[in-house]
Amino acid sequence: MAPERETLALIPLEGAPASLRADCGSCFGLCCVALAFSASSDFAVDKDAGKPCANLQADSRCGIHRDLRNKGFRGCTVYDCFGAGQHVSQHTFGGRDWRKDPATAKQMFEVFPVMRQLHELLWYLTEALTLPQTKPIRSDLKKALARTEELTRGAPEAVVETDVAAHRQDVNALLLRTSELVRKGGGGKKKDRRGADLFGARLKGADLRGANLRGAYLIAADLRDADLRTADLIGADLRDADLRGADLTGALFLTQSQVNAARGDERTKLSGSLARPGHWTTAQDR
């Protein structure tokens, strides 16, 4: 669901181009139309893909943007397109609004989720290139970044036909190597919990420095005061994870949407590339 027609107040990855930050004012509300969602704790109602959300206004603004969480649309507040929305709207389709040019709608809605995946890969590759430990694979990372950027510049037909799974597999091999290089010197016990079911796990104060938590299910996990420095968190599910007092500085491939989905407070330490969510607690809330 698109927020009000303005750039989201997210702090960009240091060195990352503005094109990888959501600029909802330059998008035609694509996430509010192209994507489907089901009634759950994250969404108040069901919505089919290609059907505009009932809260989407004619000017691409969200009618309940300031009250999404209270209205049952928490899922909207954690979603991040990594800048794919404005790219599809302004570049792939040259500024043609699907409302004014209905013939573009179906194809635009098909392009958007593909572009979102490509932009997510651009974000990870950009982060990998900022890390000094990746010097041995810097050339390969740059090639992967250039190839991904090339795919995003394709015509709508080409973007839709992109084999994202195959490309993601190639990029992921480099991201895995990045993770290994960084975590090797990150301290801690280097625990391998990739894809682990840690739903509600009691990890308060745990030393998780350099841990492999790729794709781990950390839903509602107690991570209070845990040390997650240099832990690989790509794809980790942090919904309702308690990060109060946790140290996530230097955590690998942690995104704003993951942070937004978790719970934290003023003691939670984040890298400078990430914003502290407004719904996190403060000392006054306790």
Question: pLDDT truncated to tens, each residue of the chain (286 aa)?
Answer: 333 333 333 334 455 578 999 999 999 999 999 999 999 999 999 999 999 999 999 999 999 999 999 999 999 999 999 999 999 999 999 999 999 999 999 999 999 999 999 999 999 999 999 999 999 999 999 999 999 999 999 999 999 999 999 999 999 999 999 999 999 976 666 789 999 999 999 999 999 999 999 999 999 999 999 999 999 999 999 999 999 999 999 999 999 999 999 999 999 999 988 889 988 977 555 5
- Assign residue 101 a region (left: φ > 0; alpha: ψ between -120 and 50; beta: otherwise): beta
**Position 1 in a domain:** no
**Position 5 in a domain:** no
- Give the CA distances from residue 224 to residues 18, 137, 167, 227, 246, in Å, rounded to whole numbers and listed in that order: 32, 35, 36, 9, 5
Residue 243 structural domain: 189-286
DSSP 39: S
Choose the final residue of a domain: 181, 214, 238.
181
Choose the final residue of a domain: 144, 164, 181.
181
**Position 11 in a domain:** no
- Contact status, residue 269 vs residue 246, Cβ threshold 8 Å: yes
Residues 215 and 285 reside in one and the same domain = yes
Q: What pLDDT is attached to residue 9?
A: 30
- Contact status, residue 232 vs residue 192, Cβ threshold 8 Å: no
Q: What pLDDT is attached to residue 188?
A: 65
Residues 164 and 226 reside in one and the same domain = no
User: What is the C-alpha to C-alpha distance for residues 282 and 240, in angstroms, rounded to an integer?
Assistant: 16
DSSP 102: G
Q: What pLDDT is attached to residue 284?
A: 52
Length of the chain: 286
Residues 38 and 166 reside in one and the same domain = yes
Q: Which residues contact 219 (CB under 8 A, 6 or more apart)?
A: 199, 200, 237, 238, 239, 240, 241
Beta strands in the chain (DSSP E): none
Residues 116 and 246 reside in one and the same domain = no
DSSP 178: H
What is the tally of structural domains in the chain?
A: 2
**Position 7 in a domain:** no
**Position 89 in a domain:** yes
Q: What pLDDT is attached to residue 283?
A: 54
Q: What pLDDT is attached to residue 12?
A: 40
Q: What pLDDT is attached to residue 10?
A: 33
Q: What pLDDT is attached to residue 5?
A: 31
Residues 154 and 268 reside in one and the same domain = no
Q: What pLDDT is attached to residue 191?
A: 83
User: What is the C-alpha to C-alpha distance for residues 286 and 78, in angstroms, rounded to an integer?
Assistant: 23
Residues 137 and 224 reside in one and the same domain = no
Q: What pLDDT is attached to residue 14?
A: 52
Angle (nearest 5°) at CA 32 between 263 and 90: 110
Residues 126 and 241 reside in one and the same domain = no
Choose the final residue of a domain: 158, 181, 204.
181
**Position 160 in a domain:** yes
